[in-house]
Amino acid sequence: MSKQDGSARQVSAVNDDGAHILHIDMDAFFASVELLDYPELRGKPVIIGHAEGRSVVTSATYEARRYGVTAAMPVSKAMRLCPQAVVLPPHHERYSHYSRQVIGIFRDATPLVEALSIDEAFLDVSGARRLLGSPAQVGQLIRERVHRETGLTCSVGAAATKFVAKVASGRAKPDGLLVIPPAETLAFLHPLPIRALWGVGAKTEESLLRIGLHTVGDVADTPLATLRKAVGDTTGIKLHDLAHGRDPRSVVTATTEKSIGHEVTFHEDVTDEARLRLELLRLADQVAVRLRKAGFLARTVAIKIRFDDFTTLTRSHTLTEPSNVGRRLYEEANDLFTALGVDGRPVRLVGVRAEQLVDGEGQMAALWDPDEEWREAETTIDSLRARFGGAAVRRASMLTRPSGETAGGTRAPRD
């Protein structure tokens, strides 16, 4: 769930054929689906999760977000921030049902649909001009049909590139349409904070702030050599291009439903979070090796945690760029684990899964590679393992089995 709370909403429906890429994002999707059964709660702060135990927030209405409630936050903390909020339990089968219905509406407008997750997609509507009209008109038709047939709302960003379209849809939330004509791309981007750039997380933001960069325009005005020195060659080049509105990626429709995962069941329940994080690292590395062997990149990373009472939680996150680098998969899995707030609760099983797989060669030709350094190291390790055996080269952190772990822990690959 995005941290967007609708306070910076911006809309515009300029008819510009050059803004042919749409990014469509359902508004507070899980919460909105639940409110179909509770219309009396519309306009009120609502949290989707379980009020009991150590449940985390699955989604929240914009009214709750304005109090600082975010996804993956413990429900107990969310209720302290917004004590008047109503907590409703999630129903994932309903979310899948409405997702299929909405994606079907997108595909009626154009066959060029790239579903990013259960509630968002890119569309290329350049071929729909004669039948449906301009990108703005197509976006409005889709919004009206989604609301008419499902009762849900969505926000649409239209631009010449995927990056700008996605930023625009975020600015249009909730229930809005924002078109950024190509000629106005830089005027739109440059006043935005640096966090608007894909790939700028807390660490990168800190590095950019350290050299006095606060807006996208600041990044655009900074010499490339300075950016590369501050954040590394790969990230520096990527941010330089994005800040100038450059994004060569096209809408990719070919996807595979397969996933690749590994999990481990401990002989004795584990409460040591350091041991659990090390196991996530092992599993992420195994998943990445299989991805590379199969020639796939993963759009989504998921983790699975099963506690001593057999309660099982799964969490997932869609990457900004697809990856098959173990370090990237681990960092995402580790962030998801941190957000769960296990807090010493005994764990009997952990798992890491790569989902929404796409062809590696076709994607890498069109994307920046933010993990170039790690990728080179891991592909070198792949070559050494192929030559000398799988156990010949291992991460330093994996050389010693965590103290107390039973050697017979079960690792079961799942496809």
Other CB atoms within 10 A of residue 110 CB: 21
Is 90 exceeded by the pLDDT of residue 304? yes
Is 50 exceeded by the pLDDT of residue 402? no
How high does pLDDT run on average in the chain?
Answer: 85
Is 90 exceeded by the pLDDT of residue 388? no
Tell me the C-alpha distance between 208 and 126, whole Å: 36
Question: What pLDDT is attached to residue 382?
Answer: 55
Is 70 exceeded by the pLDDT of residue 373? no
Residue 212 DSSP label = T
Is 70 exceeded by the pLDDT of residue 409? no
Question: What pLDDT is attached to residue 127?
Answer: 92
Most confident listed range (70-74, 167-171, 198-202, 296-300): 167-171
Instruction: Give pTM, 2 decimals.
Output: 0.67
Tell me the C-alpha distance between 124 and 158, whole Å: 10
Is 80 exceeded by the pLDDT of residue 287? yes
Q: What is the pLDDT of residues 193-230, one digit of tens each?
A: 999 998 888 889 999 999 999 999 999 999 999 999 99
Is 50 exceeded by the pLDDT of residue 124? yes
Q: Of all residues in the chain, what percent carry a pLDDT higher than 90?
A: 62
Is 60 exceeded by the pLDDT of residue 404? no
Residues 5-11 have a mean pLDDT of: 69
Is 50 exceeded by the pLDDT of residue 294? yes
Residues 315-329 have a mean pLDDT of: 89
Question: What pLDDT is attached to residue 400?
Answer: 45
56 contacts 88 by C-beta, under 8 angstroms: no
Tell me the C-alpha distance between 128 and 115, whole Å: 18
Question: What pLDDT is attached to residue 192?
Answer: 96
Catalytic amino acids? 120
Listed residue (207, 255, 213) closest to 356, CA to CA? 255
Distances (CA, A) of 140 to 9, 118, 132, 169, 230: 17, 21, 10, 13, 42
Q: Of all residues in the chain, what percent carry a pLDDT higher than 70?
A: 83
Q: How many residues does the chain have?
A: 415
Residues 249-277 have a mean pLDDT of: 86
> Beta partners for 113?
123
**Coil, strand or helix: which one is 67?**
coil
Most confident listed range (179-193, 250-264, 293-307, 335-349): 179-193
Is 70 exceeded by the pLDDT of residue 44? yes
Tell me the C-alpha distance between 261 and 166, whole Å: 29
Residues 362-371 have a mean pLDDT of: 49
Longest CA pairwise span in the chain (Å): 67
